[in-house]
Every structure is written in structure tokens, then in C-alpha cells.
Amino acid sequence: MNILILSAGTRDKVVQYFKKELAGRGRVIATDCSNLAPAVYEADAFYLVPRITAPDYLDVILDICKKEKITGVFSLIDPELSLLAKESEKFLAVGTTPIVSDYDIVETCFDKYRMFEMLCKMQIPTAKCYADKESFYRAQEQGEISYPVFVKPVRGSASIHINKVESKKEIEVLCDIYDDLMIQEYMDGQEFGADVYVDMISGKCTDIFVKKKIKMRAGETDKSVSYKDGKLFEIIRKFAEDCGFRGMIDIDIFQIDGTYYISEVNPRFGGGYPHAYGCGVNMPAAVVQNLAGQENEVRIGNYEEGICMMKFNEVMIRDMRGEEIVP
């Protein structure tokens, strides 16, 4: 069994976890568009590939799947998930299973206003959202919402171009600079992150790990502590199964006055997943089990509460003499 990790970037830990899981049973192959992506050097083999916007990108990845006899493939960046989901039949045709949810739900996750509409339809508490500034101004005049608010891209990731604003003037300036912005209620409460696995065969939610976020940096969790609440587990389980997710998903949640609000959903490994793994929530093992044709047992909340994660800086030094540097 061989696993292909696309756009590995700096996610060294994910590569290491799959190598450990497949030890003696298979290989981990990694790709990136830069040969300065440290995670790729943790893999058993590495391919330097074009950017995902290149016209031949899909053919290059499919050729790697055929050459390396890849059993399962997944990506660590948002834009590539839609490609994997949309072209899933082409991967299956070469014997490779894309580890990703269906295209429609992936696209809903990346369109924050569509996600808001879906959560409202499902009667799941979430932050109020406005698709344009005019509808927000009307709601603000009617007392439905007040400043501060978040102004953010409808489609975006890594907290890029997200701004907390206090006035109409700031909204006008941002809307003049950027296109396709939406306005979201500012959630002033405790933030949580959930690492979730939905079995690719049964469709059952088998793993949920929740962390209370203590410190954030560039949209990722820097410090966190493990947390357990049966009520929250049930909200997440029902949401994940009703939506039809498959594989790994990462959910942002707020708690305000005792109510949990789902904020955003990323249908991939989250940047804080090493916390879950360190607490015994082994999603690489769940992936391997599914690719072997076997369902996973339900082990929701099977970890200890009060275990902290603290990220720290590390470097990789590598001799690149004689190689062209691709940043």
C-alpha cells in the first residue's frame, strides 16, 4: 500500500505519521511545487511538480499515481481538494482512491456564505453572515448586528485578508481594495478546534478530537489543550454524518454563553492535527484501514482531557549544491 501526499509543504509531521503507519507495508510519496518544502524530504520519495494551476498538473499527478502504484492520495492545501474531488473518477481509473469528501460538500466548505446558508438550514448555530455590505448595513440599522464585525473573503484560507473592523468607513475601504468580501458577526467567545474522521466505507463519524485554542498564529493553532464534552461530540457527529463528509475534516467552533457555534469547516487535516495524534487519535491508521477495505470502529472522545500542545520553531538544513532552487 502506497500513499501520495500532495502539496506537503511544511507538514512534516503528517508525512512522518503515515511513514510510521506503513512501516514495512508500503511507501509514502510526497509532492510540492518547491524543492524548499521540508516535508517532502521526510517521504520515501519526492516529486517536484508544477503549480496546481498549470494545465498539465492533473496529468503529472496521475502519472505519479501509476508509476508509484499509489493506493490513496490526499492534499494538505485547500485549492487542491476541489481538484481531487472533481476528478475522482480519473484517480479511481488508475487504481488510486482520493481521500476527500464529495465535490459539492468540498465546494460548500470553501464558500463561507454557502456554508453559512447550509448551517442555518440544518438549524446549527453559526455566526450571522452577510453576502454584501448593503445587506449588512440594513441589518445593522435594524439592530440585528453591531460592530465589531469580521470582513473576509467568501473563499479564502489561512486567515488571509480577514479583518476585524469597527466602522462603516473601514468596510468601505476594504471593499474598494478587495473583491468578493462578506461580513460576518464577530464571535467573542472561547474558540475550539475539532479534528474529525468520517469512515470512507460506512460514512460513520469514528473519531473526534476537540482542543480548546489558547493561542493562534496566522490562522493556525499555536497552543491548545485537549477538551471533552459529550454534547459537543454529538453536534459534530451528527453534522459530519448528515453532510456526508468522508475522511479527515477540521472544524472551527466557538462557545458563547454555553452554546456551541460552528464557524468554518476544512475537509482536510488541520494544522493542529499533531495535538490529536499525540493524544492517541490516529487518523493515518484509520485511512490505512479504509484503504484496505475495512471499516473503522467508532472511538469518539477516546483520549485524555487536559493535554497541552505547544508548537515551536524548527529548521531543516540540506545541501542543495548542484540543484536548481525552486522557491
Q: For 141-162, what is each residue's pLDDT tens digit?
A: 999 999 999 898 888 655 566 7
- Percentage of the chain with pLDDT > 70? 98
Average pLDDT over residues 183-193: 93
pLDDT of residue 199: 98
Three-state SS at 165: strand
Q: For 37-67, what is each residue's pLDDT tens digit?
A: 999 999 999 999 999 999 999 999 999 999 9
Nearest to 248 by CA among 257, 256, 240: 240
Q: What is the pTM of this model?
A: 0.94
Which band of pLDDT confidence, cut at 50, 70 and 90, is reported for residue 197? very high
Q: Which residues of 150-177 are buried (b: 16+ CB within 10 A; e: fewer)?
A: bbbebbbeeeeeebebeeeebbeebeee
